[in-house]
Structure 1
């Protein structure tokens, strides 16, 4: 088995919201997903046939700052290297299209730091601290 197919495309808003919930990420409003997903700088979907099993996106201005968001793999597909495939696709696209010097950030949940470190990400603390505000 070769595994799920990778496409540079965002999932549908309904799929996006469902996968976030299935993977323990925070709930997102479907109307917000309708507006936000097309604004992705880069989006990746992994599908087994028509079924979404993983996703990831980059958002930002594409020149100064990019942020990796929504990296998620359905629980029954985890531990198969799919998160790594998603990150590799996102980072390959950033290296192809973004200018040298762009700053790429992310917020890592739990043990996900191990995945992101494989792509060169380092904890920014104590020099800087990640912060967020959800309205």
Structure 2
């Protein structure tokens, strides 16, 4: 529902927006990453990856079913969870959409992730994720990455 309470968090989306469970379409996923200034993913990678989402949400606004934001959790569903692909199209940023999506992901984790699970993420935005308890891992551990085309 437009402006509806998000998973009982008490937060409301602005009028004209609706949070939905599940991932957006492949085309919307690719478009949203670009619209949020994130690195492109190939259509093949997105087609393979989206069905393996542990839990996802997206926000629609404007035209019916026009996705303006998305976020998902990937992992093994038991001990390892990664917040991934958090994106809000630039014209829709700053309206609480990212916060509503993150509230939904955290609510899902509280209800479904076993005790002792590990939740990680790579943050492109400073100061956003800390409100949900995330903290930098260094110096206790160091995040590392490599792109598959470099292997």
Alignment TM-score, normalising by the size of structure 2: 0.85
Runs of 5+ consecutive residues of structure 2 not aligned to the other structure: 1-13
Q: Structure 1 segments of 4 or more deviating over 6 A?
A: none
Are residues 1:58 and 2:73 paired? yes
Q: Is the 8 A contact 1:62 1:102 kept in 2?
A: no
Q: Distance in 2 between matches of 1:92 and 1:30?
A: 30
Q: Which residue of 2 aligns with 1:104?
A: 119
* CA distance in 1 between partners of 2:113 and 2:31 (Å): 30
- 1:67 aligned partner: 82
| Structure 1 or 2: more helix by fraction | 1
Q: Is 1:114 aligned to 2:121, yes or no?
A: no
Displacement after TM superposition at 1:53 (Å): 0.5
Q: Is 1:32 the equivalent of 2:45?
A: yes
What do residues 64-121 of structure 1 show as CA deviations (whole Å, max 9, x unaligned)?
Answer: 1000000010100001111110100011111111111111000011xx2311001000
* Aligned-residue CA RMSD (Å): 1.0
> Under a length normalisation based on structure 1, what TM-score does the superposition of the two structures give?
0.94
What is the number of equivalent residue pairs in this alignment?
A: 133
- Give 1 or 2 for the bigger CA radius of gyration: 2
